[in-house]
Amino acid sequence: MVKEASANARKTHYTEILNKYGMLLILILLFSALSLKIDGFASLRNIFSILEQVSMFGIIAIGVTFAIVTGGIDLSSGAVVALASVVGASIVTGTEGYGMTIFAFGAAMFVGSLCGLINGSITAYGRIPPFIATLGMMTIARGVAQLVSNGRPIDASSDAFTSIGDGSIFGVLRSCCYLCSGCNYLPYHDESYEFWPPCLCYWWQCEYRKNLWC
């Protein structure tokens, strides 16, 4: 019995390790395999290029995390980002200076926040499952983005606007700095498994969980 209990404890311990660090181990193995297979894959230049490309998805994932930890899901994140980007780029196209850049940045943030507020309100107070609510928002945001852009690429060539994401801070890519800063607002839990994110989203999570399936 003692040996069986000890074996079960070890199995549980290994399972917990895999659950926590399984994706990290897969990432390390994948990176090692590609480094051995492709010349220059592990170079500093290529690493920075990969980080720059995936940082946007990481920033989006931070927002989606708040929905997932409360038992929901957000299918509209990509479409909302596209809509906010189109709105911001449309405002700043053909302009220079930081005045219009700040206005365009604020407009994009407003559009994204408005879409998130609609999703959360429909889910928490309309008692509609988040899968359905965000699926509808995804379709709407994608369609509005097509209407705003007329289905064509928008050339946001303003140096002031592109400087938000380009360049580096003390040798670190700005997009990566934004990602690391956003990670500080990720929710975490204590031993009672109550989520305590260090931001105002805590209230919204409580309302979300209280009203979601009641």
Tell how many helices (H) and how many strands (E) occur in the chain.
Answer: 8, 2
Residue type, position 51, single letter: L
Q: Per this entry, what is the length of the chain?
A: 214
Q: Residue 27, exposed/middle/buried by CB under 10 A (0-12, 13-18, 19+)?
A: exposed
Ranges assigned E (strand) in the chain: 168-169, 172-173
pLDDT given at position 143 = 93
Q: What is the pTM of this model?
A: 0.71
Of the candidates 211, 214, 213, the residue with the CA atom closest to the CA atom of residue 125:
211
pLDDT given at position 207 = 47
Q: Residue 104, exposed/middle/buried by CB under 10 A (0-12, 13-18, 19+)?
A: buried
Rounded Cα distance, 145 and 147, in Å? 5
pLDDT at 47 > cutoff 70: yes
Q: How confident is the model at residue 23 (pLDDT cuts 50, 70, 90)?
A: confident
With tokens 């890519």, the residue in question is 173
- 151, 143 in Cβ contact below 8 A? no
pLDDT at 118 > cutoff 70: yes
Q: Which residue has the higher pLDDT, 206 or 60?
A: 60
113 SS3 class: helix
With tokens 């889910």, the residue in question is 123
Over residues 79-103, mean pLDDT: 86
Percentage of the chain lying above the pLDDT 70 cut = 80
pLDDT given at position 194 = 45
Q: pLDDT for 136-193, tens place per residue?
A: 999 999 999 999 888 888 877 777 777 777 777 776 777 777 887 777 766 554 444 3
pLDDT given at position 165 = 74
Backbone angles phi, psi at 173, to 5 degrees: -55, 140
The rounded mean pLDDT for the chain is 78
Q: pLDDT for 53-81, tens place per residue?
A: 888 888 888 888 878 877 888 999 999 99
pLDDT given at position 204 = 44
Name the strand (E) or helix (H) holding 102: helix 98-124
Range of lowest pLDDT (34-38, 81-85, 157-161): 157-161
pLDDT given at position 62 = 84
